[in-house]
Amino acid sequence: MSSDRTDPSSQARPAAASPVMLQIGATEIIVQWQDQTSSQVMQARLPFGHANLFGTDLRTPSAFEMESAIEIVEEHVMPLARKIEAVTSREILVKDFPTPARFSSEPDSTFNLDAVEREFSHIAAVTQGRSYSDIEPVEMRSFSASVLILREFMHHLGIENGTVNCLVT
């Protein structure tokens, strides 16, 4: 006797979606994701990173530099976001995030978009003259660029949560 019902345990289950991987290097960003249609691992490289997004000046970035950097990042992330649409995972894994020592209590930390927004607001206040007494200007530029890049990726990819692997600067 045959049955039209299929045993649920015998059905193929889709592979769990992988998070988007973001590696913010000094002069380039590497983005990896798994296309859910083809299961291929895709990769893109963006021509800027935490050390050169604001140019080579070593002082804390200005509000104008922050706005200009947002435009640069958006120009690259928005078209990439359309390619990554097939990703069903809405998590991000950030590798080697340049982090001033005072922020890196754990080598791997989870975070959400709200935490990134709070840090970005802190950085925006610094560009308006508020002091970040524990962070040297060179660290601040690199950290600011990294937070800005992460924030834009999360916004344009609709990502709410992530894990960061800290690289203490």
> For the segment 50-62, what is each residue's pLDDT rounded down to a tens digit?
989 987 776 778 8
User: pLDDT value at position 102?
Assistant: 54
User: pLDDT value at position 4?
Assistant: 43
User: pLDDT value at position 62?
Assistant: 86
User: pLDDT value at position 158?
Assistant: 87
Q: What tokens does 37 get? A: 């249609």
User: pLDDT value at position 13?
Assistant: 38
- Tokens 């040297």: give the residue: 136
User: pLDDT value at position 86?
Assistant: 61
User: pLDDT value at position 5?
Assistant: 43
Residues of the chain with pLDDT under 70: 1-17, 58, 86-89, 99-108, 131-138, 166-169
Helix (H, G, I), strand (E, B) or coil at 85: helix
Distances, alpha carbon 88 to alpha carbons 14, 19, 26, 38, 138, in Å: 11, 9, 29, 13, 37
Instruction: Report the Cα 39 to chain-centroid distance in Å.
Output: 22
User: pLDDT value at position 139?
Assistant: 73
Residue 164 DSSP class: E
